[in-house]
Amino acid sequence: MFEQIEKHIDETKQGSSIISKINEASSKKFYIESYGCAMNFNDSEIVASILYEKGYGTTPNAEDANLILINTCSIRDKAEQTVRNRLKHFKGIKKRNREMLVVIMGCMAERLKDQLLSRKNWWIL
How do residues 44-86 score in pLDDT, each as one tens digit? 889 998 998 888 988 888 999 999 999 987 777 777 888 888 8
**Would you say residue 97 lies in a domain?**
yes
Find, among 118, 67, 108, 59, the residue nearest to 85 by Cα. 108
Residue 104: count other Cβ atoms within 10 Å of its Cβ: 21
Q: 66 near 51, Cβ under 8 Å?
A: no
Distance CA 58, CA 5 (A): 12
Range with the poorest average pLDDT among 6-15, 22-31, 72-81, 89-98: 6-15
Q: What is the CATH number of the domain that holds 80?
A: 3.40.50
| Total number of domains constituting the chain | 1
| Position 33 in a domain | yes
- Position 9 in a domain: no
- The residue type at 15: G
pLDDT at 120 over 80: no
Inside any domain, residue 4: no
